[in-house]
Structure 1
Amino acid sequence: MNPKSLFKISCVAAAVGLLASCSQTPTAKTKATTATVAEDTAFSVNYEKFTLNNGLEVVLHQDHSDPITAVALTFHVGSARELEGRTGFAHLFEHLLFLESENLGKGGLDKMSSRIGGSGANGSTSRDRTNYFQTVPNDALEKMIWAEADKLGYFINTVTDAVLAKEKQVVKNEKRQGVDNQPYGHARYVIGKNLYPESHPYNWQVIGSLEDLQNATLQDVKDFYNKWYVPNNATLVIAGDFDPQQAKAWVHKYFDEIPRGDDIKPLEERPSDLEEIKKRFYEDNFARLPELRMVWPGVANFEDDAYALQILGELLAGSKESPLQKVLVDEKELTSDVYFYNSTSEIAGEVNLITRAYPGTDLDDVQAAVNEAFARFEKDGFSDDELKRVKAGLETEFYNGLSDVLGKAFQLAQYNIFAGDPGYINEDLQKSLAVTREDIMRVYNTYIKGQPFVATSFVPKGEQELALAGSAPAQVEEEVIVANGRGEDFELPAETEYARTPSSFDRSVEPAYGKAPVPAIPDVWQTQLQNGMAVSGINNTELPLVEFALTIKGGHLLETAEKSGTANLLAELLTRGTATKTPEQLQKAIDMLGASIHAGASSDSFTISGTTLSHNYAETMALVTELLLEPRWDVREFELAKQSTLSTLAQQKAEPNAIASIEFMKLLYGEDSILSIPATGTEASVNNVTMTDLKTYYENYLTPSVADFLIVGDVKQQQVTESLTELTAKWKAKQVALPDFGTPAKPDASKVYFYDVPGAKQSVLRFGYLALAETDADFYPATVMNYKLGGGGFASRLTQALREGKGYTYGIRSGFQGSDRVGPFQISSGVRTNVTYESAALVKEILEDYPASFTEEDLANTKSFMEKSTARQFETYGAKLNLLEKVTDYGWEPGYVNQRLETVKGMTVEEIKRLANTYADPEHMIWLVVGDAETQLPRLNDLGFGEPVLLNPAE
């Protein structure tokens, strides 16, 4: 998990305090909660809370901006409610509750989601809660309330030994994919085991242990469910476009008769009792960079000190001016980045430092640099501007967290459960904004300076000498690989017999749809500047937020193999200062606006994008203009950017998914094509790139004549064009000829390729070929064809067969990718190592059977999803930017979405069969496997595509 993503989640949680709340008038049957709106708060989210007699707490929030509604059911149970030796149960139920319930039948909510145009029913588990959520067209709200009630009161009887056996395999595959087969995947496990005593509920990980999971009996599972999955331990949030009185009536109808469970005693706070420094090291099979983590005991949710610790993390590591960045990155050149963030849970918290050093770096040197940075912080402190920078960032993070109704539902549920009231969001903000200089230094001295911590050194195999001195070996449970999967098979019966739970009405009747929603296509405005740059925008006043992207065609396509990665390095350098601003000054200027500006290069474009508050839009665009037109060309920053890129490339060499992506592109395009090389380049090419190369690319290829500026948010067209005045005047157009590399032919016959990663706990699969451009007439119809094959999540045959039917994988999907160039059709998955052949053979069988076995029922299901999901297609800022991208790149009218809808309506079974035979033919594909060759390579001979080719034979 990216540490910065963790910190951003933390920021959003704190920033949600900016929400003000009010209550609607409650009915006689409800108990309402009200809260006042702060006088200086311009933005508010209204809500109403009521409690059923059985203890279920319900929160309603109305948002009529789109004809959609989010439903989130959250239980106050996570891994912390488990017992030692019986771990992983809460996460197991995250899976089980989607499979079947008494009245929805097999496939449960997943199957219904595919019919009603839902976003894909999903869930997540933490130490302290488990949630289930989905966004649906608002005509399906009653169906969702009916389905969520079935989870709560009419589910557990459907869980049998066979169902449990199958889902154990799915969860174990998830652990292999996310932990065992990932670099540094065991780090959190080692931290938990050493930060907390064995009896502490945070000692084990949310996903649990494979042994505990395998040992779980059906009775264990039922006992856990009956204790924790009860109305008085749950919160239901409904957010979006709906009639609140009607919603209340449905909630009462479907939930009222579900009986209350036993009273549940709250957990008491239990901070870590760490008394001494603990150092542990682990030689990681997948690591190529040495990683240091230092974790100090912190505080629980909503403790006063949590707010100061959060801001402390940003002051220590969140900017170019911060001491950890200055010392470790700029001065000592030990790493490309360092993260310091506060994380809180219900009964304890942690303060985390994470950095991945450059290859071969001694982690003792890294820790010494950390101590030097701390000493500098103690001596120099921080400026008032730095504190303002951090607090300004909270506002933007807050609005980003509210850009869809599901984000609002999440936050309201979290506050209701852990603070006891959705209205705590007001107090939460005030505590964040009230943090003082004295608070920050106090928590630093209380929790960090001179305090014990757990330090983990995860180093590459054979490089133990890089670990911190005095480190003891970490105890990590490693799964033993066996050649095949015999002994882990199971058989799910076609039908399951179980006792049905009585109800006062017939719950087996699925509620009818409500009034069909009318999806609105956003109004798009377009213009062209005098220098040739096209500008497109959508005005959206839901939030005081703006997102933009300046995209310049070319990117990696304009490079040579010997200098590949040039555009990527140029993008890195443009954000590292301007002619008049040092890197620190530029970042400070951006952060003080509560904005973010990023630059990057892809295979066919160079993009500068960002997010800002609408009232800071003009100032943000002035900075974009400056960094584009007045590069700093800082030699030292260029060398640091190269070093960071080389470090990333080194890490990718051992990460199975990265290997699979890189090798698949080589096989698709051929070694001679620039597109067979990642946009970041290779170690050799990055080392070849000079500052002169960057300047040449900048002068020749960054031109408005091949540029589009896309913008969505609370900003008018006139404001946008005014903000681009300087760019129009000073950025001169040049002619750029984009190369045409042609398209490699479809394989004459399928071939199996294998890349060896010794000891891999999973095999990564990439099957496919170069198929279609998005501008091809068959592209969207082929996407429709693929829905039931592998594009429809749990509705797809690949998922139903490999995950639900066999338990081989945590997930598998297929899809078409393309632009105005031909892109691949690709099937991708990570499967249990010892069923590599079985998985590939099953995929082949499904592809072979798909055209002939596609039915009218399949077509009806596909059409239902495609038609109904249009209600939520433009909810987010990202979706609106994507619409603008299609309009500008391909010259399509915004109404192209209606044309696609007509395509769906006119689709026939015969057309699906034609498309499947043409574009999903297993006999003309590349079949790539990345895994353990010793145990799995020989077995792939039986796939029928000849002897597999080993791509990295031992020297």
Structure 2
Amino acid sequence: MSDSAASEAPNAATSAATAAAAATAATTTVPRPAVAPPEPWSFPVGTTHDLPNGLRLVTYDVPGQYVLSVRLGLPISLRDEPQDREGVATIMARTLDEGTAQHSAEELARLLERKGVSYGAGMSDAGLSVDLDVVKGNLEPALDLLRQILTEPVFPEAEVARQVRTRLAEIEQERSVAAQRAGHEFVRTFYARDDRSSRPTGGAPETVSAITREDVSAFHARHVVASGVTMVVAGDLEGVDVLPLVEATLGGWRQGPSRDRFLQRPAQLAPDRSRIVLVDRPGSVQTELVIGAPGPDRSVDGGWAPYPVIGFVLGGSPNARIDAVLREEKGYTYGIRSSFRPRRAGGLFLTSGSVRADSTAESLRLLVEILDSGRNGFSDKEIRSGVDFISKTAPGRYATADAIADEAISMALDGRTTKFTTANLRDLAAVDRSRADGAYERFADAAGLGRGDTRAAGWTIVLVGDAGDHREAIEGLGLGEVTVVSDAG
């Protein structure tokens, strides 16, 4: 074969292959499907039963979720604690499963493990939460163990003393962690001194160390009753008749007095909260910052939907305004977050995180400027990104039984049902630039931001860092006078 013939053969083969591919494509290509916006998503609908003793049962059937999630929300207020025994609710929550009238702590632990039950309890501003997860086939014995834990705890003296020692050790650890130290100083500065919110949820050393078994038992007897309690069971409930099981176990739980009143009263704010406090921690290589102001609750005029979006835009993601400047442009931080945190009455807007020590004053200046930039409005792109993230991730956030049960209890302790969750997601679709701008303006006006002699008026600012290195530079910003307090508090 000549050289010219040899060179023509591959070209011919290539042309034939190309033609064949084109013919195949012509016969198999279908029109690209149109990408439409997702349909509006609704939170799963629960079934509600009210028991005669005041317990409300809400069930959510989640097919395929064979580990059932059981949650209880007890509207117990931290304000119910005796002031000289603050922390007793936390100690009580931690010792509920340390033995019952029928079983010792060790026996109860073995029974929970044998039945495939995961149990936990904790106290917060919202109330007492009890969590239980169990394989579907063992719901009945798990509920009986839960009944014993709630109604027949014995609070062994040795176990109460152990939990008191543990809590005292935690307090020391919290003092050593800058973020927790800043949080404690913030609430002490932000809330009125005689308001329970100004002091740690788990109590202070002088009150915790005084707690006895008798204190814990008395608090339980008075406050752990069925009235006002919401119980949620979520998971694959096919073939499981939950209501009779709950009636047989918790239906005899003592009703107790009606409870709902205390959660309606907002916390009292300190009249001098608008100031800068620097917790002196010599030698710190980072500075922890917390900046806050009074925020709305979910009943706010104009609807709650704009506020999570505003928090997302300002500091709710790595692409938010704060990180775009302090992390990406300046390299001062690994990340700082902002969010609105509603309580049942009133709420907070908080920004918190740590920065390099050598950038302390500059970071504070930038943070205040970025937060104040909300008064200048938001862009359509920013608002759309926040709306899309919150609304379009909701199906994934609430895809499991435990997430559904947790949301239902969170709403119950806020005096709501998960109908609010669905309604709020619907309302998100109507949040635009104009509505977000108006919501931030109302928040800023209500919080008194910008009213006063300094650019930081209205904000409560707490820093944990080296006062010797940073105080003068912070005062030079013109944001206000700086109060220095001891790291030991």
- Aligned runs of 1:38-187 on 2, under 5 Å? none
CA distance in structure 1 between the aligned counterparts of 2:159 and 2:129, rounded to whole angstroms: 20
Partner of 1:699: 221
Partner of 1:913: 437
- For residue 399 of structure 2, the aligned residue among 864, 867, 875 is 875
Q: 1:848 to 1:531 in 2, by over 3 A?
A: same
Given that residues 195 and 267 in structure 2 are in contact (C-alpha distance below 8 angstroms), is that contact kept between their aligned partners in structure 1? no
Task: Tell me if 1:628 matches 2:162.
Answer: no
CA distance in structure 2 between the aligned counterparts of 1:568 and 1:892, rounded to whole angstroms: 24
Paired residue type of 1:550: L
- Give the TM-score normalised by structure 1: 0.44
- Give the TM-score normalised by structure 2: 0.84
Structure 1 residues 821-847: Cα deviation after superposition (integer angstroms, max 9, x where no partner):
222110011111111111111111112
- For residue 787 of structure 1, the aligned residue among 309, 312, 317 is 312
Structure 1 residues 689-722: Cα deviation after superposition (integer angstroms, max 9, x where no partner):
2222212211211111121111211235722441
CA distance in structure 1 between the aligned counterparts of 2:387 and 2:129, rounded to whole angstroms: 35
Q: CA deviation at 1:886?
A: 5.2
CA distance in structure 2 between the aligned counterparts of 1:632 and 1:902, rounded to whole angstroms: 47
Given that residues 746 and 925 in structure 1 are in contact (C-alpha distance below 8 angstroms), is that contact kept between their aligned partners in structure 2? no
Task: Tell me if 1:935 matches 2:469.
Answer: yes
CA distance in structure 2 between the aligned counterparts of 1:535 and 1:524, rounded to whole angstroms: 10
- For residue 669 of structure 1, the aligned residue among 186, 191, 208 is 191
- For residue 246 of structure 2, the aligned residue among 706, 710, 723 is 723
CA distance in structure 2 between the aligned counterparts of 1:731 and 1:883, rounded to whole angstroms: 26
Task: Tell me if 1:759 matches 2:256.
Answer: no
Task: Tell me if 1:546 matches 2:68.
Answer: yes
* Relative contact order higher in (CA < 8 Å, ≥ 6 apart): 2
Q: CA deviation at 1:557?
A: 2.5
Partner of 1:382: none
Q: 1:876 to 1:803 in 2, by over 3 A?
A: farther
Query: Residue 839 of structure 1 aligns to a residue in which SS?
Result: helix
Q: 1:889 to 1:568 in 2, by over 3 A?
A: closer
Aligned length: 444
Partner of 2:296: 772
Structure 1 residues 539-559: Cα deviation after superposition (integer angstroms, max 9, x where no partner):
112232011111111142211
CA distance in structure 2 between the aligned counterparts of 1:916 and 1:555, rounded to whole angstroms: 30
CA distance in structure 2 between the aligned counterparts of 1:749 and 1:687, rounded to whole angstroms: 29
Q: 1:568 to 1:738 in 2, by over 3 A?
A: farther
Q: CA deviation at 1:896?
A: 3.1
Structure 1 residues 610-648: Cα deviation after superposition (integer angstroms, max 9, x where no partner):
111111111111111111111123111111111111111
Structure 1 residues 518-562: Cα deviation after superposition (integer angstroms, max 9, x where no partner):
635312111111101111121112232011111111142211331
Q: 1:630 to 1:513 in 2, by over 3 A?
A: same
Query: Residue 295 of structure 2 aligns to a residue in which SS?
Result: strand
Unaligned runs of 5+ in 2: 1-32, 450-455
Q: CA deviation at 1:678?
A: 1.5
CA distance in structure 2 between the aligned counterparts of 1:600 and 1:870, rounded to whole angstroms: 26
- For residue 480 of structure 2, the aligned residue among 935, 940, 946 is 946
Query: Residue 688 of structure 1 aligns to a residue in which SS?
Result: coil
Partner of 1:618: 140
Q: 1:867 to 1:575 in 2, by over 3 A?
A: closer
Query: Residue 712 of structure 1 aligns to a residue in which SS?
Result: strand
Q: 1:621 to 1:755 in 2, by over 3 A?
A: same
Q: CA deviation at 1:801?
A: 1.1
Paired residue type of 2:409: E
CA distance in structure 1 between the aligned counterparts of 2:385 and 2:488, rounded to whole angstroms: 49
Q: 1:747 to 1:785 in 2, by over 3 A?
A: farther
Partner of 2:82: 560
- For residue 640 of structure 1, the aligned residue among 158, 162, 166 is 162
Q: CA deviation at 1:818?
A: 1.6
Partner of 1:577: 99
Q: CA deviation at 1:787?
A: 2.3
CA distance in structure 1 between the aligned counterparts of 2:391 and 2:220, rounded to whole angstroms: 44
Query: Residue 293 of structure 2 aligns to a residue in which SS?
Result: strand
Given that residues 621 and 724 in structure 1 are in contact (C-alpha distance below 8 angstroms), is that contact kept between their aligned partners in structure 2? no
Partner of 1:467: none
Q: CA deviation at 1:733?
A: 2.8
CA distance in structure 2 between the aligned counterparts of 1:902 and 1:528, rounded to whole angstroms: 28
Q: 1:749 to 1:611 in 2, by over 3 A?
A: closer
CA distance in structure 2 between the aligned counterparts of 1:529 and 1:676, rounded to whole angstroms: 36
- For residue 382 of structure 2, the aligned residue among 858, 869, 873 is 858
Unaligned runs of 5+ in 1: 1-510
CA distance in structure 2 between the aligned counterparts of 1:866 and 1:633, rounded to whole angstroms: 43
Partner of 1:345: none
Q: CA deviation at 1:732?
A: 3.2
Q: Which shifted more, 728-737 or 567-576?
A: 728-737
CA distance in structure 2 between the aligned counterparts of 1:674 and 1:572, rounded to whole angstroms: 20
Q: 1:902 to 1:946 in 2, by over 3 A?
A: same
Given that residues 72 and 409 in structure 2 are in contact (C-alpha distance below 8 angstroms), is that contact kept between their aligned partners in structure 1? no
Structure 1 residues 855-906: Cα deviation after superposition (integer angstroms, max 9, x where no partner):
2332333333344334424213343124423553456454434432443333
Query: Residue 305 of structure 2 aligns to a residue in which SS?
Result: helix
Partner of 1:846: 370
Q: CA deviation at 1:953?
A: 7.4
Q: CA deviation at 1:766?
A: 0.6
Partner of 1:164: none
RMSD: 2.5
Paired residue type of 2:336: I
- Aligned runs of 1:496-575 on 2, under 5 Å? 513=35, 516=38, 519-575=41-97
